[in-house]
């Protein structure tokens, strides 16, 4: 019986499910404050130091729910992130500590600004997605007020692009809060 429980727990970990009985959000917060605030700030909104990191600034962690699954988040913490100054923490933190800090990061909150999202959308996306946009005719960009996509799917399309279309990835062009604001705006105008 004990062997079956261990195997089940291993399968759940591989599938990305948290074993919440053993996860400790308070410990995750302690670890975050010790190692992560230097770049990501106390609330996950990126510190001044984090904005200066090369080759790219640290990411705003308050919006990770839109882009990163729990499994991906743990992998990023564990192995670092290629093309960014995010180091691997697997030699510093235990597997349980990585789970704890990932769980804490998932608790960070961002309140999207619909008006800022509307302005950003009109400026950055309007050339293709507004009825008067040139890309509307050329690329047949969809009317996003009719989009069936939810928050997470929409954010991932903005961030990573859409295969087989002219919608390329915007991961290094738009900050996470900008995408969260645009998604909130687009969800608010759905018919």
- pLDDT at residue number 55: 85
> Quick check: 100 pLDDT over 50?
yes
CATH number for the domain running over 23-105: 1.10.760.10
Q: Is the pLDDT higher at 25 or at 191?
A: 25
pLDDT attached to residue 15:
44
What distance in Å separates the CA atoms of residue 43 and residue 16, rounded to the nearest whole number? 24
Over the stretch 129-179, which tens digit does the pLDDT of each residue have?
A: 887 777 777 777 888 888 899 999 999 999 889 888 888 888 778 889 999
Q: Would you list the domain boundaries of the chain? A: 23-105, 114-188
pLDDT of residue 167: 87
The alpha carbon of 56 is separated from its chain's Cα centroid by a whole number of angstroms, namely 15
Structure tokens given for 151:
């928050």
| C-alpha distances in Å from residue 11, one per residue of 4, 16, 19, 130, 137 | 10, 9, 11, 46, 48
State the pLDDT at residue 4: 45
Predicted pLDDT at 137: 75
In this predicted model, what pLDDT tens digit does every residue of 32-49 receive, in sequence order?
999 999 999 999 999 999
pLDDT for residue 65: 87
Model pLDDT, residue 22: 66
Quickly state the pLDDT bin for 78 (edges 50, 70, 90).
very high
Give me the pLDDT at residue 145, please: 84
Out of 3.40.50.10790, 1.20.1200.10, 3.10.180.10, 1.10.760.10, select the CATH number for domain 114-188: 1.10.760.10
Within this chain, domains 23-105 and 114-188 share the same CATH topology: yes
Segment 9-37 mean pLDDT:
73
């Amino acid at each position: 019986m004990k062997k079956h429980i261990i195997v089940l727990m291993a399968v759940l970990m591989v599938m990305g499910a948290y074993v919440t009985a053993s996860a400790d959000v308070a410990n995750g917060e302690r670890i975050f404050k010790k190692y992560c605030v230097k770049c990501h700030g106390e609330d996950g909104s990126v510190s001044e130091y984090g904005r200066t990191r090369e080759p790219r600034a640290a990411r705003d962690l308050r919006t990770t729910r839109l882009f990163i699954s729990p499994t991906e988040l743990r992998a990023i913490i564990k192995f670092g992130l290629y093309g960014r100054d995010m180091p691997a923490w697997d030699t510093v933190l235990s597997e349980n500590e990585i789970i704890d800090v990932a769980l804490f990061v998932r608790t960070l909150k961002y309140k999207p600004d619909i008006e800022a999202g509307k302005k950003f959308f009109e400026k950055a996306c309007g050339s293709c997605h507004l009825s008067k946009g040139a890309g509307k005719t050329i690329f047949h960009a969809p009317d996003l007020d009719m989009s069936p996509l939810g928050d997470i799917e929409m954010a991932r399309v903005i961030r990573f692009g859409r295969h087989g279309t002219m919608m390329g990835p915007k991961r290094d062009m738009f900050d996470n809060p900008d995408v969260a604001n645009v998604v909130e705006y687009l969800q608010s105008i759905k018919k």
